[in-house]
C-alpha cells in the first residue's frame, strides 16, 4: 500500500497541491504528480489526494483509493537516497487516470482532514519504530564497547563512552513512554468511534468539530502522536549518531547496522511532517488556533 500526498511543490503545505480531479459523472479523472511515495513502485493500492477542477467543490481537496495498476498511472523509482534502502520511493504520474466513483474516500472536500487523520497513525508508527532502532543501537554499542580495547581497557570502561550509552538509554525509554501515551490516546479515539458505530447509523456525520467529545479525543491523539514522533525521531538520530561515534571508524561503513540506523533515522525528522512543522503544530495546540504560525 502507499500513501500518496506529497508533490514537488507541495511538501510541508499539502493544501498547495496542484493535482486535479474532474467528476465525470460515473467516474473521476485524476491528473498530476506525486513524489517521494513509499512503496510507490509496487503498491497494489494507494490513497491519494487531489483538488476538484470545476464542479461543486472547486479547489477543495478530496481523497481517493486508487488501484496501483489502473490505466493512466506510471511510476519511476527515486534513486540515490541516503538510507531507507528497503523501501522504494517513487514519483507517481497520473495521466487521465480513471477512478471509479465508489473509490472516493469519505466525502468530497474532506481530503485534507482524512490525510491528517492518517498522519496521526503514521506519526505513531514512526515513533514506535524508532524505539526498535534505539534498542538496536544500544545493544550494538554495548557489545562493541565491551569488546573493543583502547588505552589498555575496554571502551565500555571509559566514562565518556558510558555517557553515550546512558543517553541512548534515556532516548529509548523516554520515546517508548511517549509512544505508549500516544497509543493510549489513539485507542481511546478508536474505542469512541467503534461505540458510535454501534449506536448511530449516521456515525460518519458525527466525526467533526461539532462533536466536542470526538474532537477532544482526536485532538489529544493528534497532539500526543506529534509529540511522540518529534521526540522519538530526534532521539533516534541522536542515538544512531552516538553509536557511530562509539564504533569510531568501524561505524563509518554502510555494512554496519549503526551506520544504517544513522542514515535511516535522518529521514524520520523529515517525513510524516517535518519536525519544524510539528513544533509549530505543538505550539498552536498550546496557544490556540489564533497563534497558528503555519
Ligand X SMILES: Cc1cc2nc3c(=O)[nH]c(=O)nc-3n(C[C@H](O)[C@H](O)[C@H](O)COP(=O)(O)OP(=O)(O)OC[C@H]3O[C@@H](n4cnc5c(N)ncnc54)[C@H](O)[C@@H]3O)c2cc1C
CA quadruple 91, 222, 281, 235: dihedral sign:
negative
Q: Figure out which of the listed residues 57, 67, 70, 84 binds ligand X, where binding follows CB under 6 A.
A: 84
18: cell is: 496542484
Is residue 282 near ligand X by the rule CB under 6 A?
Answer: no
Is residue 6 near ligand X by the rule CB under 6 A?
Answer: yes
In angstroms, what is the minimal distance from the CB of 269 to ligand X?
9
Q: Is-contact 154 246, C-beta < 8 A?
A: no
User: How far apart, in whole angstroms, are the C-alpha atoms of residue 228 and residue 272?
Assistant: 12
Query: Which residue has the closest beta carbon to ligand X?
Result: 11
Q: Is-contact 271 236, C-beta < 8 A?
A: no
Is residue 237 near ligand X by the rule CB under 6 A?
Answer: no
Is residue 128 near ligand X by the rule CB under 6 A?
Answer: no
In angstroms, what is the minimal distance from the CB of 227 to ligand X?
17
CA dihedral angle for residue 168, residue 172, residue 178, residue 179, rounded to 10 degrees: 150
Is residue 277 near ligand X by the rule CB under 6 A?
Answer: yes
Is residue 5 near ligand X by the rule CB under 6 A?
Answer: yes
Q: Is-contact 220 185, C-beta < 8 A?
A: yes
Q: Is-contact 243 141, C-beta < 8 A?
A: yes
Query: SS3 of 173, please?
Result: helix
Is residue 75 near ligand X by the rule CB under 6 A?
Answer: no
Q: Figure out which of the listed residues 95, 149, 194, 276 binds ligand X, where binding follows CB under 6 A.
A: 276
Q: Is-contact 7 34, C-beta < 8 A?
A: yes
In angstroms, what is the minimal distance from the CB of 146 to ligand X?
34
Q: Figure out which of the listed residues 1, 4, 62, 151 binds ligand X, where binding follows CB under 6 A.
A: 4
Is residue 270 near ligand X by the rule CB under 6 A?
Answer: yes
Stated as kind and residue range, the H or E segment containing 92 is strand 89-100
Binding track, positions 14-53, relative to ligand X; x by CB under 6 A: ----------------------xxx---------------
How many chain residues touch ligand X (CB under 6 A)?
Answer: 19
Q: Is-contact 124 52, C-beta < 8 A?
A: no
Identify which of residues 6 and 235 has a Cβ nearer to ligand X in the complex. 6
Contact set with ligand X (CB under 6 A): 3-6, 11-12, 36-38, 84, 89, 267, 270-271, 274, 276-277, 280, 294
Amino acid at each position: 500500500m502507499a500513501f500518496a500526498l506529497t508533490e514537488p511543490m507541495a511538501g510541508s503545505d499539502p493544501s498547495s497541491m496542484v493535482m486535479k480531479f474532474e467528476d465525470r459523472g460515473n467516474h473521476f479523472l485524476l491528473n498530476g504528480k506525486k513524489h517521494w511515495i513509499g512503496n510507490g513502485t509496487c503498491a497494489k493500492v494507494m490513497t491519494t489526494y487531489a483538488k476538484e477542477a470545476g464542479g461543486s467543490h472547486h479547489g477543495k481537496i478530496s481523497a481517493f483509493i486508487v488501484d496501483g495498476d489502473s490505466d493512466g498511472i506510471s511510476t519511476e523509482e527515486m534513486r540515490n537516497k541516503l538510507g531507507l534502502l528497503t523501501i522504494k520511493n517513487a514519483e507517481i504520474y497520473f495521466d487521465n487516470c480513471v477512478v471509479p466513483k465508489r473509490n472516493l474516500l469519505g466525502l468530497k472536500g474532506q481530503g485534507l482532514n482524512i490525510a491528517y487523520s492518517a498522519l496521526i497513525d503514521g506519526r505513531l508508527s514512526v515513533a514506535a519504530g524508532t524505539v526498535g532502532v534505539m534498542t538496536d543501537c544500544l545493544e550494538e554499542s554495548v557489545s562493541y564497547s565491551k569488546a573493543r580495547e583502547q588505552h589498555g581497557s575496554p571502551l565500555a570502561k571509559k566514562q565518556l563512552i558510558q555517557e553515550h550509552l546512558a543517553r541512548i538509554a534515556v532516548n529509548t525509554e523516554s520515546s517508548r513512554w511517549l509512544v505508549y501515551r500516544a497509543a493510549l490516546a489513539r485507542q481511546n479515539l478508536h474505542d469512541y468511534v467503534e461505540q458510535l458505530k454501534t449506536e448511530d447509523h449516521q456515525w460518519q456525520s458525527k466525526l467533526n468539530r461539532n462533536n466536542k467529545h470526538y474532537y477532544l479525543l482526536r485532538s489529544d491523539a493528534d497532539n500526543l502522536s506529534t509529540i511522540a514522533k518529534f521526540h522519538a525521531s530526534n532521539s533516534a538520530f541522536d542515538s544512531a549518531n552516538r553509536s557511530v561515534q562509539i564504533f569510531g571508524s568501524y561505524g563509518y561503513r554502510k555494512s554496519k547496522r549503526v551506520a544504517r540506523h544513522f542514515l535511516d533515522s535522518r529521514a524520520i525528522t523529515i517525513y510524516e511532517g517535518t519536525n519544524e512543522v510539528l513544533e509549530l503544530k505543538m505550539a498552536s495546540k498550546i496557544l490556540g488556533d489564533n497563534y497558528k504560525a503555519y
